[in-house]
Amino acid sequence: MLRYGLQYISRPLRGALAGIVLLASASAMSVVGADPEVQTDAQRQAAYARLAQQSSELQSHFSTLKDVVRLVRPAVVHIEVVHPGASRPAVARRGSADETGSGVIVEIDGRFYILTNRHLIKFAQPDSITVKLSDGRRITPTRIWQDPATDIAVLAVGSEGLLTARVGNSDEMDIGDFVLAIGSPFGLSHSVTHGIISAKGRRDLELATDGVNYQDFLQTDASINPGNSGGPLVNLRGEVVGINTAIASSSGHNEGIGFSIPANMVMIVARQLIDHGSVTRGYLGVSLDSKFGAAAATQLGLDRPRGAKVTAISPGSPNGVPIEDDNHLVNTVSLTPVGRDVPLVVFRDRKPVQLTVKIAERTP
């Protein structure tokens, strides 16, 4: 379990610019040669012409990124929470003050909602939340829903003329896919950074003490910092594929390891919150061996550790997805609709056996 330096990324407003420094680029001093004083004017003009041509060719390759930013950025919001009686923004984590975060507007069944992180707004009431839109308007949500087990929150908003982002299929993302992160790092709203998907299926992270039990994070090296909490991770189709949630850092700032909740998980949870006010999770009724590893896999006749080892079946307890480990099985079952019959392939007596099981409702 990863424990060291893992933290949420909401951000205090106070001192947001304290660490910013100006950097000069040495390359700008050498575009026309190491010794410009001995160059003729004709040589300099030719160098400028070459740079103009090369720049034009290079910029054409980045036109896709510009289009993605133009599409998604207007749907990204800056979130602040002010507690009653407070004179400045305050939020969320363990009663700390002066924090802000991000969110993204989506449309679900013809209505507008903002997707964000639960840890950002968990102590807030709707009238204590201020949402700043990309056009400068400030609005207040009409209702909020929260799911502590996934750190997902949904804000209902009734304003007109809101621009929304399209939600993509996070299951289609692969390691190495290019992504953009948009949000409010250090209170600097609508900032854009880029990187790749560094890993998938990060499920054994210890996030503060909030008990985020259902994890399936996308890992990215796109620069995300305090204040990016709740902002979208976006693919090159301009689709939201994740909600940025946490970073692994020894300094408290970006070190190239960030984690996003996959969009598919976000939307399943969001729809249940909106429709029912809470999340109903599936239950298979089995006990798992969390220490299942290479030695046990070899003993069972497997070529490598995969799947989850069932050690017991609960009395009276009740899919197409290759199961990687016990946490993956728990997540997959919890997001499967209650009452559905699902095929299950088990490895028994060194042979695969196909069964059909019914998903029951998990009780608290």
Give the DSSP letter string of 244-285. Answer: EEEEE-SSSS--S-EEEEEHHHHHHHHHHHHHHSS---EE--
Catalytic residue among 102, 170, 191, 229: 229
Alpha-carbon gap, residue 260 to 176, rounded angstroms: 15
Is residue 303 annotated as a catalytic residue, yes or no? Answer: no
Q: How many Cβ atoms sit within 10 Å of the Cβ of residue 70?
A: 10
Taken in order 309, 315, 317, 319, the sign of the CA dihedral is positive
Is residue 229 annotated as a catalytic residue, yes or no? Answer: yes
Catalytic residue among 151, 221, 325, 326: 151
Is residue 135 annotated as a catalytic residue, yes or no? Answer: no
Catalytic residue among 10, 78, 102, 119: 119
Residue 166 CB-density burial (10 A; 0-12 exposed, 13-18 middle, 19+ buried): middle
Helices (H), 85-152: 118-121
Residue 362 CB-density burial (10 A; 0-12 exposed, 13-18 middle, 19+ buried): middle
Amino acid at 111: R
Alpha-carbon gap, residue 335 to 282, rounded angstroms: 6
Nearest to 244 by CA among 152, 177, 337: 152
The catalytic residues are 119, 151, 229
